[in-house]
Amino acid sequence: MGFDFAGRRVLVAGGSRGIGRAIALGFAAAGAQVSACARGAGDLDALRAAGVRHTRPTDLADAGQIAAWVEEAAATLGGIDVLVNNASGFGAPDTEEAWKRGLDIDVMATVRASNAALPALRGSKGCIINTTSISGLEPTTRSPAYAAVKALVIHYTASQAAMYAKDGVRVNSIAPGSIEFPGGSWEKRRTDDPALYNRILAGIPFGRLGMPEEVADVALFLASPLARWVTGQTIVVDGGQMLG
């Protein structure tokens, strides 16, 4: 069954590559008017060529740039029905730099974009979808900073859902497992760190890593009327990776 988002206005923060790109293109293919932001202007140009209506180069660690994107996108699209917070700094190790990247981008970009979009979302009784990770659901020695900030976003998602329910705004998050796409970290690890890649692969019951489109499909479901009674939840999309 396909989704129909004709007339809906969707903003995707961190929408130029991988999961974010698949979400932006998925909504556009379903008829939505979509705005996406990211740092790479070239990737954004490709998104517009593929059907995304509006893009703006944006450093999602910068509060002013986030506010400017949300304001411009809302004006261009005529409002906001869905906000997808997908950006990540991918700060993995237990270092000051990794923690700062994660807090600035994974956490504060989610807070700032949500707050900027909230007046429009209240008016449309829209929804927010935050991209987290299965790393935020269990301890790890490989990427402690990344896992911790994703856990924070999962907790914040539930708090947002409780705060905004009175306004008719739903908030959920998606926790993907290991997702592979051209130019992504897992494609690089396939050749740069095959031991890690093969260890992760062996732990996925279906015998492969996930695809961005498989996460995008869940985002479309959560934004659709089929999920009208779903809020405050984190949906794991990992092909059973956490079962291992």
Whether 227 maps to a domain, the answer reads: yes
At 184 the pLDDT is 87
Which residues are CB-neighbours of 92 under 8 A, at least 6 positions away? 98, 142, 143, 144, 145, 146
Q: What local confidence, expressed as pLDDT, does residue 83 receive?
A: 98
Whether pLDDT at 1 is above 80:
no
> Does the residue 205 lie in any domain?
no
Q: What is the mean pLDDT of residues 10-32?
A: 97
pLDDT at 145: 97
The pLDDT-based confidence of 155 (bands split at 50, 70, 90) is very high
**Residue 177 belongs to domain with CATH number:** 3.40.50.720
Asked whether residue 15 carries a pLDDT value surpassing 80, the answer given is: yes
> Of 146, 156, 164, 197, which residue is the catalytic one?
146
* 92 inside domain: yes
Percent of the chain at pLDDT exceeding 70: 100
Query: Does residue 204 form part of some domain?
Result: no
Identify which of 108, 6, 122 has the alpha carbon closest to the alpha carbon of residue 64: 108
- In sequence order, which residues have a C-beta less than 8 Å from that of residue 158 and are 6 or more positions away? 232
Residue 42: the pLDDT is: 87
Q: What is the token pair recorded at 112?
A: 């700032």
pLDDT band at 233 (very low <50, low <70, confident <90, very high): very high
Domain count, the chain: 1
Residue 146 among the catalytic residues = yes
* Spatial distance between the Cα atoms of 122 and 43, rounded to a whole number of angstroms: 31
Average pLDDT of the chain is 96
Looking up tokens 């794991």 gives: 236
User: Is residue 154's pLDDT more than 90?
Assistant: yes
pLDDT digits (tens, 9 = 90+) for 166-199: 999 999 999 999 999 988 889 989 999 999 999 9
The answer to the question of residue 114 being in a domain is yes
Distance, in Å, from the CA atom of 109 to the CA atom of 88, rounded to the nearest integer, reads: 9
Which of residues 40 and 221 earns the better pLDDT score? 221
Handedness of CA 228, 153, 21, 105 (dihedral sign): positive
Q: Is residue 203 part of a domain?
A: no
Domain that holds residue 70: 9-181+211-239
Is the pLDDT score of 91 beyond 80?
yes
- Residue 235 resides in a domain: yes
pLDDT greater than 80 at residue 244:
no
Q: Which residues of 29-67 are buried (b: 16+ CB within 10 A; e: fewer)?
A: bbebbbbbbbeeeebbeebeeeebbbbbebbbbbbebbb
Is residue 81's pLDDT more than 80?
yes
Q: Is pLDDT above 70 for 203?
A: yes
